[in-house]
Structure formats: structure tokens, C-alpha cells
Amino acid sequence: MKAAKAKAGRRRAGRPPLALLGPAQITRAALKLVSRDGYKALTMSKLAKSLNVAPSALYNHVRSKQELLRLVEDSLMARVDVSAFLDQPWDQAVSKWAHSYRDVFSSHLPLIPVIALLPVTNAPQTLLMYEAVTEGFLRAGWRSARIIDAIVALESFIFGSAYDVNAPSDIFAPGELGATAPAFSSAVAHRSNAGQLNDADAAFSLGLAALIAGLATTLV
């Protein structure tokens, strides 16, 4: 009797039953696949293989690659911290949101060109993120007509800065051609950042502060 119960309690080898699949598991597998092999590797067949299921089983949960991308987008946007918009001054809230946003996407570079162009239609977590940001702008006195343009301006800077986090430390080294660009080479050699920040963080902090200050003037 005990042997029979033990045997019944063990899952059979092979593909897992369909019930084990769900949006969270599929999203994690998709992010892992992209991180390891790049966005071009994210196909429904390869994703199904990584989950050890038949493609038909995967299609029972996500009907298309577009729907899969919405799951991925929602997963990443849910990680962006928007809590500061609840109780902090607008400029500080934008700064904390932007830093969190950059940190999330600097760990998922292959997805930036995709997510940046992906409509937010029917993506609940993504819409909640934007709702929190928009409410924060409204509380700070922004007119609705200007908010989306401001968010796009900030996102453009954030996505570019996410790439810079992953740039090699010698990206601006002129090499043997330093003499052909003496002013630039000197600026590179004398680059220094206060507060023990690395180059990427220092550049981001400088640019973000300037962008926030510039946006703030539009409220005057």
C-alpha cells in the first residue's frame, strides 16, 4: 500500500502536465531565454522547448508572440518603482522612478528596442505604472496635454542610459588617434565624478537633473 501511494505521489517523467504552466512561469522562461540568447531567440517553439512542453500546450496560455511580449512588458514594468509619486515632491519622485526604470532595463538590454515600440494596449501592470506617474504629474500641477510628451522625453533618456550602464569602461578611449581629437581626448582623460559615482551613474545623474529642471520650467 505504501509503495503504491509513493508511486502515485511521484510525477511521471517527461513533459510536465499543462496545469503547471501559467503566465508567471512562461514570462520567467521568456526573460531567461532572451537574456541568454538575445531577442531573436524568443520564438514560440524555442520557448516551448525551454519549458519542456509542446508548442500546442504553450498556445493554450499565450495565443501569439504579441501576447507573449505583453506578458514580458508587464513583468518588467511591474518592477519599476513608482511609490515616490505618492508622497514625495515631483522632482524627487521623477528621479527615483527614473533610476528604478533604468536599473530594470539595464538588466534586459535586448528587450529595449522591442518594449520601447510595443503598444501598452491590454497590459495591466504597464498601465498601472503609467497611471501612477501620470497622477504624480497631475498633483504637481502639470496639464494633461503635456504629461505624455514629458514621459516620452524621460523614457528616451532612460532607455539610452540603460545601454550606457553596460558600455565598456574604455568606450571613449581614442587609442592611437588621440592627437586627431585633442580637446576630446583631454576631456576623456580628465573625466572625474564626484561622490564616488561610476561614469554611467554620474552621467545619468547629471543628465536626469538637467532634464527634470528643464521640464519643471514648463510649469511656470
pLDDT in tens, 141-176: 999 999 999 999 999 999 999 999 999 999 999 999
Q: How many helices (H) and strands (E) does the chain have?
A: 11, 0
**Together in a domain, 21 and 92:** no
**Together in a domain, 105 and 207:** yes
pLDDT in tens, 40-53: 888 888 998 988 99
Q: Domain tally for the chain? A: 2
**Together in a domain, 87 and 128:** yes
- Containing structural domain, residue 194: 80-217
Is residue 70 in some structural domain? no
**Mean pLDDT computed over 32-46:** 86
What's the Cα-to-Cα distance from 76 to each of 73, 101, 113, rounded to whole Å? 5, 9, 14
Is residue 142 in some structural domain? yes
**Together in a domain, 101 and 10:** no
**Together in a domain, 13 and 114:** no
Query: How many residues does this entry show for the chain?
Result: 220
Structure confidence at residue 8 (pLDDT): 47
Alpha-carbon distance of 31 to 26, in angstroms, equals 9
The CATH number of residue 27's host domain is 1.10.10.60
